[in-house]
Amino acid sequence: MSYIQLTADSTCDLGVYGVQRNVGIMPLSVILGKDTFRDGVDIEPKDIFAYVERTGELPKTAAPSIGEYEEFFRGYVEQGKTVIHFDISAKSSSSYQYAAEAAKKFGGKVFVVDTKALSSGQGLLVMKASDLAAEGKSAEEIFETVNALRDKTNTSFIPDRLDYLYKGGRCSRMSMYAANILKVHPLIEMEDGQLIAATKYRGNMQKCIDKYIDGLAEKYPKYDRARCFITHSTADPELVEFAKRKVAATFSFREVLETVAGSVITGHCGRNTLGVLFIAE
Predicted confidence at residue 268, as pLDDT, reads 77
**209: pLDDT strictly greater than 80:** yes
Write phi, then psi, for 14 (nearest 5 degrees): -80, -25
Predicted confidence at residue 182, as pLDDT, reads 61
Confidence of residue 168 (pLDDT cuts 50, 70, 90): low
Average pLDDT over every residue of 43-58: 88
- pTM value is 0.93
Predicted confidence at residue 171, as pLDDT, reads 52
**204: pLDDT strictly greater than 70:** yes
Going along the chain from its start, the domains and CATH numbers come out as: 4-150 (3.40.50.10170), 153-279 (3.30.1180.10)
The b-or-e profile of 112-144 (16+ CB within 10 A means b, else e) is bbbbbbbbbbbbbbbbbbbbbbeeebebeebbe
> Are 87 and 113 contacting, i.e. CB atoms less than 8 angstroms apart?
yes
Predicted confidence at residue 89, as pLDDT, reads 95
| N-to-C CA span, the chain | 25
pLDDT in tens, 76-106: 999 999 999 999 999 989 999 999 999 999 9
Average pLDDT over every residue of 173-184: 61
Predicted confidence at residue 165, as pLDDT, reads 60
Measured distance CA(24)–CA(8) in Å, rounded: 6
DSSP bridge partners of 61:
30
Measured distance CA(265)–CA(231) in Å, rounded: 11
**180: pLDDT strictly greater than 80:** no
The b-or-e profile of 150-178 (16+ CB within 10 A means b, else e) is beebbbbbbbbbbbbbbbeebbeeebbeb
Higher confidence at residue 265 or residue 104?
A: 104
Closest CA to 3 of 123, 128, 120, 109: 109
pLDDT in tens, 237-264: 999 999 999 999 999 999 999 999 998 8
Predicted confidence at residue 175, as pLDDT, reads 60
Q: What is the mean pLDDT of the chain?
A: 91
Confidence of residue 19 (pLDDT cuts 50, 70, 90): very high
Range of weakest confidence among 2-6, 75-79, 94-98, 138-142 = 2-6
